[in-house]
Amino acid sequence: MDSLRALIREIPDYPKPGILFYDITPVLGDPDGFADLIDAMATPFLDAGITKVAGIEARGFTVAAPVAERLGAGFIPIRKPGKLPFAVHRQDYQLEYGTDSLEIHVDAVAAGDRVLLVDDVIATGGTAAAAVELLRTVGADVAGFSVFIELAFLNGAASLNDVTHHALLTYD
């Protein structure tokens, strides 16, 4: 994991003053780093019977789709409102500075689907918790949450309640 951590670019005051942004694009651009990232995110769930992997828009898509391929599973996009072309379920959630929403197709999962939720970063956990609720709304058995970076000092994983989560890198 040290090789992945070394590729992460830390950008102070982005997107606003006081925020330290962890830029994963150098990892995505490095063929060996990207392969290592996908393997490390998928490996803990190889024997979990995952049938679908859900990714949260937008950076989560870049890791969720290849994790789905590694697990031999389908991919489910969880998107911001108005981006999916078919009937959707919507989940509103609270942010530090307002509210937001996520949507999923009503037919994204079938009975018995075990879904792994994947994202690049978990901070306060609001988006991840909303995605879990949205997946459960459409009937998914949420088998876990795999994330590249956890900002542990924000305690976002606590919002996932009963969902097992696996973080590759933790920043305290």
Chain-centroid distance of CA 137 in Å reads 17
Q: Specify the length of the chain in residues.
A: 172
Catalytic residues: 59, 96
Contact in structure between 170 and 139 (CB atoms under 8 Å): no
Q: Which residue has the tokens 């018995």?
A: 112
Q: Is the bond preceding residue 58 a cis peptide, omega within 30 degrees? A: yes
Rounded to whole angstroms, the Cα distance separating 145 from 160 reads: 9
As beta bridge partners, residue 88 has: 105
